[in-house]
Structures are given as C-alpha cells and as structure tokens.
C-alpha cells in the first residue's frame, strides 16, 4: 500500500475513533438497598456490572466532578465508600455517623447527611396516635441530624453542620455560599453558611405541608423548589427563601429536579406512581407519566434525551423518553434501587450538571 493510502486510512481510522468516542453517552450508577451499586451503560441501556461497596444498605451517592470517584453512603456501617470508577474497587471507607443517607459533592468535598436519632422505617401518619407518641419521644430525646463534610483529598470527615431532626435533602445556592437542607421531622427548611455552618434562616413548612423532602435550585439560581411529602405539593421559594406559592402534586412527592434549561420541573410522586412534569414559569402541569412502585430518585442522561427513574419496590429502573414523555424501557435486574446519578454529571434529583 502506498504511503498516501496509509495516511488516508490512518486519518479515517482516527476520525472514526474520535466520532465513536464523542458519541459515548456515559454511565449511570444505581444504589441498590438490597445489593451494591449497579452500573448502566447509557449507550446500550443495559447493566454492565455490580460494584460491591463493602457494606449493606447503600443509599445516597454522588460522582466527583472529574468522574474519577464515586461516593456512596452505606447506612448500615455509618460510612461512605469511595469507589475508583476506573476499576470499580472500593479505595476507602470513611466513617461519617449513624444512618448516612444523602450525598452531594462540591469541589473536593462531599456533604453527607446522617441522622443520629433516626429509628428507621416509615413515619406514622400525621395526627395519628403513633405520630403524637413519636413526637413526644422525639421532644424528650432527639439529637439533630448533621451534614458531615468530608475532604476527599484527605480522606476524612473534617467538620459538620448541625441540621434539624432527620435531615433529608441537600442543595447548594448558585453562588456556592449557602447550603439548603430539608428537615422532615420538624417540617423546616434551613439555610446555612457553607463556609461556617452557621444557621442563617429557617423556613417552616407546616402551613403548606409536612415532611419536606427533595430540594432543588433552578439553573439560574432565582428559585428553589421543595417537595412536601405529606402535603402532596411542592413549595416554590425565591432566591431569598421567601415562599412564593405551592403547587399541587400527586400523592407523596419526593425527588424533584429542573431540566438543564430551567423550562420544566419534574417530580417523582411515590404513591401516585407518576413522574409529573410542570412548566417552570406557569407551574401548569404538562403531563403525568405512569411509573411503578416507590419511585424516588431520577436523573436525566447527560445528553438530556432520556430520564432514568429508580423504582425501589419494583426492583427496576425505568427509562423515559424526554421528548415523548413516555416510558420506553424497564431495566429489571435491580435490588430495591434507591438513587441514581450519571457521569458525565447531569440534572436530576440527586445531582446537577456541570456547565
């Protein structure tokens, strides 16, 4: 073969290789409460492997900004597992505190909610005798939840922020100066200085609805939305945390997220078995998408073409076409999936895309 032919062939091969690489849609990581963390190849929408995180009860999870490590909250041993995403091996387990649940990453730090006073299991219905007894017991001896801050370079917890009882969701302000958390047991949203941990503001939700769970900032940072599980609503606040309105949802909403452009809001309504879509300007409902049992957390794919929804009691991840707003596939080899994130990082109830 002539030299010119070799050059042309090499060029074609290089170009083809680059185009294949450019088309790579990435991976999704799914925490399974009755298993490890499963990995989904987003090119084929199939599970490729299961990561043993060396502890039971994985729930919250997050990917570092460079995608090199996966951080997984392992509830049963009060730690987070640090996983090398190249090898899927656990590099280290870092003690955090009792019942770690929600994980967010910002820069070189992981923020992990944990609940020293949590007794586990679903809470009693508001106003019931069991709920009143639990409230009295909590008032007598209720240690507040905390956000453990882990330095990922040092590999240890370096400080903590005190939240309310049973802290649930975690969100950052757009400028990175504030941490916003939902506290389901005392029906509050609290705002803290990210630098010092100081409590800056408390928003009580009871008059709008009980058990705040999911919390998300809009892409432009001008609004926050919070799901109220026992209010069957989500609450809308401005950037100064003034409550602007509530929006009715299906029964027991939990995970919530904006799309990348901030045009729509998506809500996973657990007992309604729907993923609900709303216009982010008018708050009018666009569509209810029928889902499955106990669907809590979800993420867009990095190319924004599909949504993956973890449905715990259906042992499945649903794939939803964003344009059609229809379920197109069910990945059924899961073991009570709890949360789901992707890399490259994308919009979802547990993470936010890096622009």
In the prediction, which pLDDT does 126 show?
54
- 3-state class (DSSP) for residue 17: helix
Q: Is residue 93 part of a domain?
A: yes
In the prediction, which pLDDT does 15 show?
41
Distances (CA, A) of 19 to 28, 206, 247: 21, 53, 44
Tell the residue number behind the tokens 């090499």, with chain if given: 10
Q: Is residue 239 part of a domain?
A: no
- 3-state class (DSSP) for residue 38: strand
Tell the residue number behind the tokens 């929408």, with chain if given: 45
Phi and psi, residue 135, nearest 5°: -65, -40
* CA-based torsion, 99, 101, 104, 108: positive or negative: positive
Cβ atoms of 108 and 153 closer than 8 Å: yes
In the prediction, which pLDDT does 122 show?
53
Q: Is residue 52 part of a domain?
A: yes
Kindly report the CA angle at 212 between 325 and 30, in degrees rounded to 5?
A: 50
CA dist., res. 331 & res. 326, Å (int): 15
Instruction: List, for residues 117-163, the tens digit of each pLDDT value.
Output: 665 555 555 555 544 444 444 444 568 899 999 999 999 999 999 99
Tell the residue number behind the tokens 């990175």, with chain if given: 176
Cis bond upstream, residue 220 (ω within 30)? no
- 3-state class (DSSP) for residue 348: strand
Q: Is residue 35 part of a domain?
A: yes
Nearest in space to 146 (alpha carbons), one of 120, 195, 112, 110: 112
In the prediction, which pLDDT does 127 show?
56
8-state DSSP, 208: T
- For the chain, what's the residue count? 355
Q: Is residue 305 part of a domain?
A: no
Q: Is residue 66 part of a domain?
A: yes
Nearest in space to 300 (alpha carbons), one of 354, 234, 355, 349: 349
CA dihedral 267→272→278→282, nearest 10 degrees, is -120
Q: Is residue 73 part of a domain?
A: yes
Contacts of 113 (CB under 8 A, 6+ apart): 60, 100, 101, 102, 103, 145, 146, 147, 148, 163, 167, 168, 170, 181
139: left (phi over 0), alpha (psi -120 to 50) or beta: alpha
| pLDDT tens, the chain, 355 aa long | 444 443 344 444 444 443 345 589 999 999 999 999 999 999 999 999 999 999 999 999 999 999 999 999 999 999 999 999 999 999 999 999 999 999 999 999 999 999 986 655 555 555 555 444 444 444 445 688 999 999 999 999 999 999 988 998 999 999 999 999 999 999 999 999 999 999 999 999 999 999 999 999 999 999 999 999 999 999 999 999 999 999 999 999 999 999 999 999 999 999 999 999 999 999 999 999 999 999 999 999 999 999 999 999 999 999 999 999 999 999 998 999 999 999 999 999 999 998 7
Contacts of 272 (CB under 8 A, 6+ apart): 249, 250, 251, 252, 288
Instruction: List, for residues 222-279, the tens digit of each pLDDT value.
Output: 999 999 999 999 999 999 999 999 999 999 999 999 999 999 999 999 999 999 999 9
In the prediction, which pLDDT does 155 show?
96
| Rg for the chain, CA atoms, rounded | 21
Q: Is residue 275 part of a domain?
A: no
8-state DSSP, 64: -
CATH number where 107 lies: 2.130.10.10
The DSSP string of 40-52 is EETTTTEEEEEE-
Write down the H helix ranges in the chain: 3-22, 129-140
Residue 56's domain spans which residues? 26-120+143-162
The DSSP string of 119-161 is --SPPPPTTSHHHHHHHHHHHHS-PPPEEEEEETTTTEEEEEE
Q: How many domains does the chain have?
A: 1
């Amino acid at each position: 073969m002539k030299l010119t032919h070799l050059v042309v062939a090499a060029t074609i091969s290089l170009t083809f290789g680059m185009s294949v690489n450019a088309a790579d849609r990435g991976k999704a990581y799914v925490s399974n409460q009755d298993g490890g963390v499963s990995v989904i190849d987003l090119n084929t929408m199939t599970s490729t492997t299961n990561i043993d995180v060396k502890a039971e009860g994985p729930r919250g999870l997050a990917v570092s900004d460079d995608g090199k490590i996966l951080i997984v909250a392992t509830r049963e041993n009060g730690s987070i597992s640090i996983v090398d995403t190249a090898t899927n091996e656990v590099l280290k387990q870092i003690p955090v505190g009792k019942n770690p649940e929600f994980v967010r990453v910002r820069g070189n730090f992981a923020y992990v909610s944990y609940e020293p006073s949590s007794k586990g299991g679903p809470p009693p219905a508001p106003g019931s005798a069991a709920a009143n007894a639990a409230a009295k017991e909590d008032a007598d001896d209720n240690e507040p939840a905390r956000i453990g801050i882990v330095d990922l370079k040092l590999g240890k917890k370096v400080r903590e922020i005190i939240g309310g009882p049973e802290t649930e969701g975690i969100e950052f302000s757009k400028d990175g100066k504030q941490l916003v958390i939902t506290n389901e047991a005392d029906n509050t949203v609290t705002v803290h200085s990210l630098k010092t941990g100081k409590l800056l503001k408390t928003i009580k939700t009871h008059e709008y609805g009980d058990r705040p769970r999911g919390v998300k900032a809009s892409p432009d940072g001008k609004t926050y939305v919070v799901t109220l599980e026992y209010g069957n609503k989500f609450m809308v606040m401005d950037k100064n945390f003034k409550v602007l309105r509530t929006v009715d949802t299906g029964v027991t909403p939990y995970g919530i997220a904006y799309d990348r452009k901030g045009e729509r809001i998506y809500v996973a309504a657990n007992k309604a078995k729907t993923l609900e879509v709303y216009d982010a300007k008018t708050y009018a409902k666009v569509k209810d998408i029928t889902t499955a049992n106990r669907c809590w957390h979800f993420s867009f794919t990095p190319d924004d073409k599909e949504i993956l929804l973890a449905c715990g009691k259906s042992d499945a991840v649903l794939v939803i076409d964003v344009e059609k707003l229809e379920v197109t596939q069910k990945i059924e080899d899961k073991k009570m999936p709890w949360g789901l994130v992707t890399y490259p990082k994308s919009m979802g109830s547990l993470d936010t895309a890096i622009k």
